[in-house]
Amino acid sequence: MFNTLFNRLIITITPFLPRRIVWKIAGRYVAGKTSAKALAVVRQLNDKGYSATVDILGEHTHSKSEAAEITREYMNIYDEISEQKLDCNISIKPSHIGQDISNKILQTNVDKLLVKAEETNNFLRIDMESSAVTDNTISLYKNCRRKYKHVGTVFQAYLYRSQSDLEKLTQDGSFNFRLCKGIYKEPPSIAIQRRGKINSNFLKLLRFAFEKEIYVAIATHDLDILKSVYALISELNISTDKFEFQVLYGVPMSGWLEKHLKNNFKVRVYIPFGVDWYAYSIRRLKENPNIAGYILKDLFRR
């Protein structure tokens, strides 16, 4: 009871804490403010047997020059990944590189990334944002896939439409997608609201992907889902080259990551970094206030 009340207090007061305090907490979730720091974390994870994907924090860019600069930074990261021989790819949010400006600017920037991805023999993940841009993101992904095969997108289990979207894409041949629950606040008319039903749909979509032999990145921290995923893999006798598990950097997994590796399952860690770390950190702390509580207790003891 006390811990629950303390965690609620943490959620309430964290946005009012000095940024230097929040940064001490955020360090668990954010791999620094520069690409060099992020790639150093990638190296450490690679040495432990994990793959990685990096994401520059930020979204809803409204400046054409800023969107171009973010695109150039991603291109430089591709070069660094190649030069350092890291097991790492890139995830981008369309709104970060021009979607809110125009589709033309967005496509131009993504095309540059596709060229660089092909040049460095790497992969590009196009993240899914709110339902307002689902159609646009799917269209972007389809355009990209015609140009370069090593590209993937994301589908969210809480959206009712995800089953239909997957079925439509399957008609165009094999592809690669990340399956997650979804984090954006969506209305009940288009999104499942209850955790149990979201979990059930997550597993339904995963079964569909497995049966259609679609490569799927299973992105969840829900331990109940993971137990069901293991059972599904066993039931359908799914080859380990047909899926991977994905987790956010810093989120506790109660030994499951090690368990994945022992089973020869691929694990990819999603590593965010950048100067826009604050808003992301507040969101992560609200989702998991236990982390903030542990760190603040330690700070007070010191």
Q: What span, in angstroms and rounded, lies between the C-alpha atoms of 71 and 92?
A: 9
* Cα(133)–Cα(189) distance, integer angstroms: 16
Over its C-alpha atoms, the chain yields an Rg (Å, rounded) of 19
Q: Which of 28, 55, 125, 127 is catalytic?
A: 127
**16/129 Cα distance (integer angstroms):** 27
Is position 178 annotated as part of the catalytic site?
yes
**Which of 107, 105, 216 lies closest to 157, judged by CA?**
216
Residue of 28, 125, 178, 268 with catalytic role: 178
Question: Which 3 state secondary structure label does DSSP give 252?
Answer: coil
Alpha helices (H) along 27-161: 35-47, 64-84, 103-119, 134-147
Cα–Cα nearest to 183, from 297, 283, 285, 62:
283
- What is the tally of helices (H) and strands (E) in the chain? 12, 8
Query: Is-catalytic flag, 302?
Result: no
Q: What is the DSSP letter of 250?
A: T
Q: Which element (helix H / strand E) includes 17?
A: none
Angle at which helices 277-287 and 289-301 pack, to 10 degrees? 100
Residues designated catalytic: 127, 178
